[in-house]
Structure 1
């Protein structure tokens, strides 16, 4: 195993104690893919209410919303990722990638200290 096998999960503390991390970024990506908050939530095993609260929190953190919704039922309603939402995903990914690169040596050292052949136990 090498440091490349270890993954960094970055959380950024925003003003007001709001955190931007991989979970919220994954939710934004899921909304982009499914064009729906409820479908995005289902795809992540999350309740609609939890997804809506997380998106609402992000929408209030930035100058412009990250997700815009429209009502209208099955054929006309939905949710779209805004330009701000795309930018937040891109900025988060760039920051995570920079951190991963910056601590590459430490990740290699951690990987070399891990058990080489973990034992599987029945519990």
Structure 2
């Protein structure tokens, strides 16, 4: 029996118009900032530059009524970043939406997977 590989994954992107968007990359960055307390560390963990991570944070902060990430400048203990209350709420709503979509679409995802070509011969 051949290895079926990783299970299918649903990647959800929410487009709000006027260029505002929240997707898996930004949500993962928010998770990383929450966990590491640093934009740079979160970006590094995702394989992105600090400049790119900071650019995404600026996009998110500008897109919502209140900033999602608050940055603390360096000092005796160094700088850092944290999710604001709005950032925590946005991330929680996005993750809940991912779970709901995956659960609601599970049968359709399985049906699509069943129609895939056999990739065991790497055709």
**TM value normalised by structure 2:** 0.87
Q: 1:91 maps to which residue? A: 93
Tell me by how many angstroms 1:73 deviates: 4.3
What count of residue pairs does the alignment treat as equivalent? 120
Q: Any gaps of 5 or more consecutive residues in structure 1?
A: none
Structure with the larger RCO, 1 or 2 (CA within 8 Å, 6+ apart) = 1
- Give the helix-richer structure, 1 or 2: 1
**TM value normalised by structure 1:** 0.87
Q: What are the superposed Cα offsets for residues 61-111 of structure 1, whole Å, 9 maximum, x if unpaired?
A: 111111000112472310011111111111111111111122222111112
Tell me by how many angstroms 1:120 deviates: 4.2
Q: 2:34 maps to which residue? A: 32
Q: 5 Å matches for 1:1-123? A: 5-73=7-75, 75-116=77-118, 118-120=120-122
Q: CA RMSD in A?
A: 2.2
CA distance in 2 between counterparts of 1:74 and 1:54 reads: 27
